[in-house]
């Protein structure tokens, strides 16, 4: 029988988010578990959006300037709440993605300070953040000129063969692109990812809670994921381990030192795990 997070433990996680989490995760919890308002999530997310449409200080990128990394995080949230292309936050974000593209390098800088560009950034690590940004251009393609979308998609497919076992996040970004492109391209991406995926994910239970590693559920966040069948024998035990290792305060553990970002990352990770447990029907609701 699959282990499930109990109602008591869910309540504990909720209490953690409501008392110690960021306002953004508070509203995300309400949206996903309490029929909360999409508008309330967008209201909180807009606080991280700059006048140029990009996002900052969400966790991955620079705190003081809009950047591609945090813009990807923002669009992950917009996708999860089914935000439409009519939303101003979406339209401005898509404008930022298009306007921040370096046409000469065919590249998006992860952060504004990442100049000059190193060779690895435009080869095997290109996909993070570029492939994922292209994914959101596809998701909201009615806002994107057809020729531009075709150009950047072609560039992504040219970079696909460079994907390797060291590309934890590059692989994740390509999978997010695969979810949003036509079937023929999706199949090519998934086929490539499958050649490396077991060299990427951490399958040793003794490592999961103690060392920073590629979590299996990242690559199959729901039973609808392309890699679900391939990875479920690892994703389900991993999620069970998250349940068993939940902290007494209610948050789910960080398996790395987050330093000054510890508070925000505990909030982010706790919501991420809860969302995935719900996707896998591993919560007693």
Residues 223-264: tens digit of each pLDDT: 999 999 999 999 999 999 999 999 999 999 999 998 889 999
Q: What is the DSSP string of 23-38?
A: HHHHHHHHHHHS---H
Q: Which region among 54-68, 79-93, 104-118, 129-143 has the lowest average model confidence (pLDDT)? A: 104-118
- As a whole number, mean pLDDT of residues 18-45 equals 99
- pLDDT tens digits, residue range 162-184? 999 999 999 999 999 999 999 99
- As a whole number, mean pLDDT of residues 27-52 equals 98
Question: Is the domain of 181 the same as that of 230?
Answer: no
Q: Which of 140, 173, 200 is the last residue in one of the domains?
A: 200
Question: Is the domain of 93 the same as that of 186?
Answer: yes
The answer to whether 279 and 223 have CB atoms below 8 angstroms apart is yes
- pLDDT tens digits, residue range 41-74? 999 999 999 999 999 999 998 889 999 999 999 9
pLDDT of 196 over the 90 cut: yes
Q: Which region among 70-79, 103-112, 232-241, 273-282 has the lowest average model confidence (pLDDT)? A: 103-112
Question: Is the domain of 132 the same as that of 219?
Answer: no
What is the rounded CA–CA span in Å between residue 33 and residue 35? 6
Measured CA distances, 111 to 54, 156, 260, 280 (Å) = 11, 19, 19, 34
What is the rounded CA–CA span in Å between residue 266 and residue 251? 6
Question: Is the domain of 183 the same as that of 218?
Answer: no
Question: Is the domain of 132 the same as that of 255?
Answer: no
pLDDT number for residue 122: 86
Beta bridge partners, 218, equal none
Q: Is residue 28 part of a domain?
A: no
Structure tokens at 195: 């050649």
- As a whole number, mean pLDDT of residues 81-104 equals 98
Question: Is the domain of 195 the same as that of 104?
Answer: yes
Structure tokens at 158: 């040219």
pLDDT of 115 over the 70 cut: no
Task: Using a pLDDT cut of 90, give the percent of the chain over it.
Answer: 91
pLDDT of 2 over the 90 cut: yes
What is the rounded CA–CA span in Å between residue 60 and residue 283? 28
Q: What is the mean pLDDT of the chain?
A: 96
pLDDT number for residue 260: 87
CA angle 253-257-258, nearest 5°?
Answer: 85
- As a whole number, mean pLDDT of residues 26-49 equals 99
Domain count for the chain: 2
Confidence of residue 114 (pLDDT cuts 50, 70, 90): low
What is the rounded CA–CA span in Å between residue 253 and residue 270? 8
Q: Is residue 32 part of a domain?
A: no
Q: Which of 158, 178, 200 is the last residue in one of the domains?
A: 200
Question: Is the domain of 188 the same as that of 229?
Answer: no
pLDDT of 107 over the 80 cut: yes
Question: Is the domain of 75 the same as that of 125?
Answer: yes
Q: What is the domain extent for residue 2?
A: 1-21+204-285
pLDDT number for residue 88: 99
Confidence of residue 84 (pLDDT cuts 50, 70, 90): very high
Q: Which of 167, 200, 233 is the last residue in one of the domains?
A: 200
pTM of the model: 0.96
Beta bridge partners, 49, equal 55
Structure tokens at 26: 């508070």
What is the rounded CA–CA span in Å between residue 33 and residue 275? 9
Question: Is the domain of 49 the same as that of 104?
Answer: yes
């Amino acid at each position: 029988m699959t282990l499930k997070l109990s109602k008591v433990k869910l309540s504990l996680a909720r209490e953690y988010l409501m008392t110690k989490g960021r306002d953004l995760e508070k509203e995300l919890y309400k949206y996903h578990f309490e029929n909360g308002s999409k508008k309330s999530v967008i209201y909180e997310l807009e606080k991280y959006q700059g006048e140029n449409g990009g996002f900052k200080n969400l966790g991955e990128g620079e705190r003081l300037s809009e950047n591609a990394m945090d813009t990807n995080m923002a669009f992950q949230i917009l996708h999860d709440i089914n935000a439409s292309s009519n939303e101003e936050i979406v339209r401005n974000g898509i404008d930022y993605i298009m306007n921040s593209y370096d046409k000469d390098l065919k590249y998006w800088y992860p952060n504004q300070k990442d100049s000059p560009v190193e060779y690895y950034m435009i080869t095997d690590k290109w996909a993070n953040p570029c492939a994922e940004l292209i994914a959101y251009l596809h998701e909201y393609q009615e806002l994107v000129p057809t020729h531009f979308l075709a150009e950047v998609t072609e560039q992504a497919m040219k970079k696909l063969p460079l994907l390797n076992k060291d590309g934890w996040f590059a692989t994740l970004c390509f999978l997010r692109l695969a979810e949003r492109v036509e079937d023929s391209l999706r199949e090519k991406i998934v086929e490539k990812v499958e050649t490396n995926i077991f060299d990427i994910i951490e399958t040793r239970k003794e490592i999961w809670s103690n060392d920073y590693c590629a979590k299996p559920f990242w690559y199959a966040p729901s039973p609808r994921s392309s890699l679900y069948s391939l990875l479920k024998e690892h994703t389900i035990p991993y999620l069970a381990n998250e349940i068993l290792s939940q902290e007494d305060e209610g948050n789910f553990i960080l398996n790395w030192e987050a330093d000054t970002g510890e508070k925000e990352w505990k909030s982010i990770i706790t919501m991420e795990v809860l969302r995935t447990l719900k996707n896998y029907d591993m919560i007693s609701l």
